[in-house]
Amino acid sequence: MKNKKDNLSYDEAISRLENLVNQLEEGEQGMDDLTKMVKEASDLVKVCKQKLKMTADEIKKAFDEE
Amino acid sequence: MQQQAISLLSLNELIKRTLDSNLSPTYWVIAEIGELRAGVRGHAYLDLIEKVDGNILAKIRGNIWSYTYQSISRNFESVTGTSLQGGMNIMALVTVQFHELYGISLVIKDVDPNFTLGERARKRQEIIGRLTNEGLMDLNKQYVLPVVSQKIAIISSITAAGYGDFINQLDQNSQEYKVHYRLFQAAMQGKDAIPQIIEAIHQIEEALIEENFDLLVIIRGGGAQTDLDCFDDYELAKTIANSSLPIITGIGHERDESIADLVAHTKLKTPTAVASFILSGFREFEDRLHRNLVGIERYVQTRLKTEESGLTDKTHILFNIFQNKLNKNNLLLDRYAQQAKRSALYKIDKERIKSDHLAQNLRKVVTRKLNKSEERIQQIEKTIDRLNPETLLLRGYTKTEKNGLPIHGQDLAKGDELVTYTKLTKITSVINKLEKNEKQEG
């Protein structure tokens, strides 16, 4: 499960995240599902943040190399 | 009247006595020697004659006794340079002698050589005067001698020593010049000399039709310095002067020039001098050729050097021109290269600025996008945080479900079983009463 998350692209990750947020907003889930979804969303947030950080680092590196 | 006859001897004795008593012991007589013969014992026998216009008017025999003849000859030759001979005018001291057997004759006691000398000089002067008057003295001298005389007509006697010397010198010259010659024989002394030499000149004139002689030489030499009077002859001098060829004489005598020498084109003392003269023409010509060749060679060398140095100069000039052109072109190329470099650098700079600009823009865009993404994530994070039941439960809120689903949106009725989650507990309850939430109305 963890591996699957890591393999996601940023766009896939954010898309899934947004989907999850929408579902959460609707609040139609039971407590257990809700907790799982929050957990997954939090993980995806981490993944997205990590990817953004990597991207920012790479961009910085790329531009500063000139 | 009949005279008494006497014997011949008596008569001759009478004549002898008469002559002896009437004549002086000696007389000086002027006469021409008609003929001179040498006798066996050294005596000389001669005729003395007197001629006028070729006619003999007087003639008498004479003799010179051996002892006297030797003395007279010696004295005569030493003064005149010539011997007593026929045709010569002399002044002689004579004694008239009559011999009963041999008749009348003169015994010559002495001969005055000065008379003959003067006589000859007078005669010679007379001939020279005549030749001058007739314009013959310088006639032969008008020819221009050939530079190189290769064909020569020779008048000489084959037995003459001078002829042999002449031929040897021509044939055996060290330079090996080839000289063609042909001998026309003639006596070179004595009474036959004049007609034979004249005849030889005529023969040569005739031979000229077939043979192109360059020169005629009359040579004689090696003999005694006597018998040269023939070369003072008028007819011979005239023939020489009128010759079609230039004539060189080499008669070989030490005394004054003969008339033949005077009328000839060139006179030289000996036959060998004539040979040397002819060969010197060859030598001079060859020298001149050589000098010309040297001159040509020198000129060619100088010219070659001049041309060579001119060529070198031109090469240098050409080289300099090319070098200048090359340098100019190099400078031009350098300038073009600099210009190209400058243009390229300018363009590169421009592109760099452009790309830098683009990069900045890109960075901005990317950063903006990134920031936007981050913002979104933060928003999502906040939303998640907000929606996280844990957070709500922590703050004291609860969550109630019916049949495992949130109760909002479900129909609730009395007696329905509800499950309520708190932070620490799960409460199962049954609905006892349903009322409207007044706070939420309106």
Give the ipTM: 0.86
In what helix (H) or strand (E) does residue B38 lie, and over which residues does it extend?
strand B27-38
SS3 B273: helix
* Cα B187 to Cα A55: distance, rounded to the nearest angstrom: 149
* Cα B416 to Cα B432: distance, rounded to the nearest angstrom: 8
Rg of chain A in Å (alpha carbons): 15
Q: Is B370 on the interface with A (CB under 8 A)?
A: yes
b/e string for B268-282 if b means 16 or more Cβ within 10 A? bbbbbbbbbbbbebb
| Residue B78 pLDDT | 86
Q: How many CB pairs under 8 A join A and B?
A: 67
Q: Is B377 on the interface with A (CB under 8 A)?
A: yes
Contacts with A14 from chain B: Cβ below 8 Å = 373, 376-377
- Using alpha carbons only, what angle is made at residue B9 by residues B4 and B10, rounded to the nearest 5 degrees? 45
Residues in A whose CB is inside 8 Å of some CB of B read: 10, 14, 17-18, 21, 24-25, 27-31, 34-35, 38, 41-42, 45, 48-49, 52, 55-56, 59, 63, 66
CATH 1.10.490.10 matches B136-283: no
Contacts with A30 from chain B: Cβ below 8 Å = 401, 404-406
In what helix (H) or strand (E) does residue B217 lie, and over which residues does it extend?
strand B215-219
Amino acid at A6: D
Q: Do B389 and A24 touch (CB under 8 A)?
A: no
| Residue A1 pLDDT | 44
Amino acid at A22: N
Q: Do A31 and B421 touch (CB under 8 A)?
A: yes
CATH 2.40.50.140 matches B8-132: yes
Contact B389, A31 (CB under 8 A): yes
Contact B139, B244 (CB under 8 A): no
DSSP letter for B269, please: S
Closest CA to A45 of B5, B331, B382, B67: B382
Q: Of A28, A49, A63, which has the smallest distance from its Cβ to B406's Cβ?
A: A28
* Cα B223 to Cα B62: distance, rounded to the nearest angstrom: 28
| Residue B2 pLDDT | 67
Closest CA to B63 of B42, B88, B87: B42
Closest CA to B252 of B235, B275, B234: B275
| Residue B442 pLDDT | 46
* Cα B408 to Cα B422: distance, rounded to the nearest angstrom: 17
Among chain A residues, CA nearest to B356: A66
* Cα B238 to Cα B264: distance, rounded to the nearest angstrom: 10
SS3 B5: coil
pLDDT tens digits in sequence order for chain B, 442 residues long: 567 899 999 999 999 999 999 999 999 999 999 889 988 889 999 999 999 888 999 999 999 999 999 999 999 988 887 788 888 889 999 999 999 998 999 999 999 999 988 888 888 899 999 999 999 999 999 999 888 989 999 999 988 878 988 999 999 988 889 999 999 999 988 778 899 999 999 999 999 988 899 999 999 875 554 567 788 889 999 999 999 999 999 987 666 678 999 999 999 988 999 999 999 999 999 999 999 999 999 999 999 999 999 999 998 998 999 999 999 999 999 999 999 889 888 988 888 888 888 888 888 888 888 888 888 888 888 888 888 888 888 888 888 889 888 888 788 899 999 999 898 999 999 999 888 888 765 4
Q: Determine the distance in angstroms separating the CA of A45 from the nearest CA of chain B, rounded to an integer.
A: 6
Amino acid at B120: R
Within chain B, all domains assigned CATH 2.40.50.140 are found at: 8-132
Within chain B, all domains assigned CATH 3.40.50.280 are found at: 136-283
The structural domains of chain A, with segments of one domain joined by +, span 2-64
Q: Determine the distance in angstroms separating the CA of A66 from the nearest CA of chain B, rounded to an integer.
A: 9
Contacts with B384 from chain A: Cβ below 8 Å = 21, 24, 38, 41-42, 45
Among chain A residues, CA nearest to B405: A30
Q: Of B376, B384, B421, which has the smallest distance from its Cβ to A38's Cβ?
A: B384
